[in-house]
Structure formats: structure tokens, C-alpha cells
Amino acid sequence: MPMFTTADGCPIAYTIHSPRTPNAPRMVLIHSLALDASIWDGVISALAGRAEILAYDCRGHGRSGRPAGPFTTELFARDLLELLDRVGWQKVLIAGCSMGGCVAQAFAGQYASRAAALALIDTTAWYGEDAPKTWRERAATAEAKGLAGLVDFQMTRWFGDAFRAAHPELVKAAIRVFLANDLACYAASCILLGDADLRYFLPHLAMPVAVIVGEEDYATPLAAAQQLHQAIPGSTLTILPKARHLTPMECPDLIAAQLIALTKRATSTHA
């Protein structure tokens, strides 16, 4: 996996999945809290030959560096900007799931000229008044009990019962990634989410935006997706039946179809 180092010295691991067709759209995929770019494997397979895809591990996650916090959405957005500059991509579709969706909003809000379109998947702009306290409590629980103490909680939030029964290998793979996290980086990422408030950016997002949510997502529920949709001019809202919080893993074909539809909107907008 290629690596590059940010201006502040953090190694970032990334992979570019090249298209088989000329003039394919470029997409960046940003993963969720405490996981890594592998949550997009099914989506990348479904998009084979139809898009050039950049998938990477956020700082503090996966194969990327694990520097001390604090972490912020602005810092993670700057990492992405530097990565795009490194690979020479100017304007891209950005898709983010959960934490990745928060990073995508921060990126599009700060670097609008670099975002051709935005897919906000199973995410929110703000977790609410109690979020700083709630997310710090989750970080403290992890530090007290270890990440293994959160596995059951995470599994039922990530995946529906039927998916867990039908795809135990994918569930086990996600758990392996989760358990390999650095506790301090996990805590810093929890605090990032608790403190994030991206609502200011939403009315100013002028690029095509697709808001996508699992029908049974109770980590960032339908109400959060509806709030995003209502706040972002011209956005679309898609509810994926019977899916929970990690729809890129639960229903990759549906996510891939949504991303292709979004690239067509972006192309027609700039035509």
C-alpha cells in the first residue's frame, strides 16, 4: 500500500484503484470510526471499470500513522487535501461513511473547489448537545475496558441480524480491524466526533449532494439524514431498506449505484 507523509509528519496509507475505461470519474472514499478503507472493498469491486477510486486510512486508523491527538474534522480534511495534491487529483467526488461523512462535509465546506460532488452516507453534521459528554464517555469506556469490551455494542450498530448471520467472515474482518486500533487514537477520534458541528457549512454546499442512510441505522438515524437533506440545497435523500450503519459493507451494490448516479448529476451540472 503506498504511503505519503502529511505536512505535520503523519504517514497516510492509500490505494488508487484504476479504471478500465477512459474518462472515468474520480472518487475518494472515506471510512468510518475505528475501521479502515476495507469497508469499501465491496463498493470498489462493484465500481470496477466505472471509476478511478482513491481509498485511504485516516490518520490514527488502519495502516496510517498513529500520532497523538487532538484530532479534528478540519485536520482530517487537510490530510485529504494534501493527499489529493500528492496524487494530482484536482476535483473529485467524495464519499464518506459515518466519521468519513463528517470529514467529507468539512472538506467540502473548506475546499469547495475540489469537491465535484458529495455522498454523505450514514452520517450527521452534529451529534447534538450531549455529544461532547457522550463521546468522551465512550472513549473512557474503551480505555477502561479495552476495545474488546465494545465489540458486541459495535456489531449490532454496524450490521443487521440477517447480515451478521449471512456474512460472518465480513463481520469478523471488521472486528479484527476494530480491535487493532490504538486506544489513544480511538479516544481522540471519539472526541473529534463529539465536538464536530458542521451545520454552518450545509447551506453553502453548492455541489450535488446525495444523503444516504440505512433504514435501521440507529447510530446516525434517519432523522439525522433528514436534517442533512433539509439543510443542503438540492440534495437527494435515499433510504436503504433493512440496512444499519455500515451500508458500504451491507449493501455495496446499492452504494455503488448511488455513487454512479451522483457522478452523472455532477457531470450534468458542469456540462
Give the domain CATH number at 184: 3.40.50.1820
For residue 158, pLDDT over 70 is answered with yes
Indicate the residue type of 246.
L
Digit-coded pLDDT (tens) for 36-64: 999 999 999 999 989 999 999 999 999 99
Q: Assess contact for 94 and 119: CB atoms under 8 A.
A: yes
Which pLDDT score, from 0 to 100, does residue 194 have? 98
Q: What is the count of structural domains for the chain?
A: 1
pTM of the model: 0.97
Which pLDDT score, from 0 to 100, does residue 14 have? 98
Query: Strand pairing of 52-56 and 115-121?
Result: unpaired
Mean pLDDT of 110-116: 98
Using a pLDDT cut of 90, give the percent of the chain over it.
94
Q: How far apart are CA 66 and CA 4, in angstroms?
A: 14
Residue 50 CA from chain centroid, whole number: 20
270 — pLDDT class (breaks 50, 70, 90): low
Which pLDDT score, from 0 to 100, does residue 19 have? 77
Q: What's the whole-number average pLDDT of the chain?
A: 96
Check residue 208 and report its DSSP letter: -
Q: Assess contact for 216 and 242: CB atoms under 8 A.
A: yes
For residue 25, pLDDT over 90 is answered with yes
21 — pLDDT class (breaks 50, 70, 90): confident
Enclosing domain of residue 67: 3-270
Using a pLDDT cut of 70, give the percent of the chain over it.
99
Q: How far apart are CA 179 and CA 28, in angstroms?
A: 25
Q: How far apart are CA 251 and CA 256, in angstroms?
A: 9
Residue 100's nearest CA partner among 155, 51, 32, 1 is 32
For residue 271, pLDDT over 70 is answered with no
Q: How far apart are CA 19 and CA 255, in angstroms?
A: 18
Residue 26's nearest CA partner among 267, 237, 205 is 267
Mean pLDDT of 179-191: 97
**Phi and psi at residue 111, to the nearest 5°:** -130, 55
| β-sheet bridge partners, residue 213 | 239
For residue 20, pLDDT over 80 is answered with no
